[in-house]
Structure 1
């Protein structure tokens, strides 16, 4: 992509916070879907709205039994969140 096009795209994303945050929203949803599937009881209003707490079993995130594959997936997503500068 030509340098001018990249500069214009970067300026557009900075001026349009909703679009700049899209990767963070997507990563947040992907990470929390793993916890939802494993039975985590969400605490934040945002997560409860998105996933609900029906059938949840674990109040503490450290108590959620994740498989090695799910732990690796969460770790990968968290790395991506840090790379994108997503809020914790």
Structure 2
């Protein structure tokens, strides 16, 4: 059975339409988005179709300590999930569900176990492009929203996925918010 929080966070597609590969496509995309931002030149058909090689610098790129740790975490997750993305494929089937990650200045690392907040009851919070108070605002968390947690937190910061209270099938916003463990108020939790 697919977990509610991940399905909600990935726009709650009808269960028959959710393929198992969506759970592997997300880590693949996040990992390769980090490499893309570091200047990696993609050679595979899938890499070239998903990322723009314009301005790439090669296949030996330098990653920050944070990004190296995120890559290591994602590789471990892909191993746990037994992922095998076909890099000869012309596209990711569920890419539209991950496009919000391109708005983040700091790419979050997906996790194996997801959770959700149903009916957020706290104050309006800006969603930021990075896990820091001075990062640019890219969205908003509002009372009544449903919040999906499918990424590794960074201190008190979580990269959250926001669905409208009455439409859990559509992702409205996504971004980093300082809602770390025990800091978010909800009507109920899932996961």
Shorter-chain TM-score tier: 0.7 to 0.9
Distance 2:30 2:36 in 1: 10
Specify which of 64, 73, 79 is matched with residue 76 of structure 1. Answer: 73
Structure 1 stretches (4+) deviating beyond 3 angstroms?
none
Larger proportion of helix: 1
Aligned residues: 72
Q: Does 1:86 find its partner at 2:66? A: no
Q: Does 1:21 find its partner at 2:18? A: no
Specify which of 64, 68, 77 is matched with residue 67 of structure 1. Answer: 64
Q: CA deviation at 1:44?
A: 0.4
Q: Which has the higher contact order (CA 8 A, sep 6+)?
A: 1
Q: CA deviation at 1:25?
A: 0.5
Structure 2: stretches of 5+ with no match in the other structure: 3-15, 86-191
Residue equivalent to 2:40: 40
TM-score by structure 1 length? 0.74
Residue equivalent to 2:53: 53
RMSD: 1.8
Q: CA deviation at 1:81?
A: 0.3
Q: Does the residue aligned with 1:19 lie in a helix, a strand or coil?
A: coil
What's the CA shift string for 1:38-71, capped at 9, x where partnerless?
Answer: 000000011100002111001x2xx210011110
Distance 1:41 1:67 in 2: 18
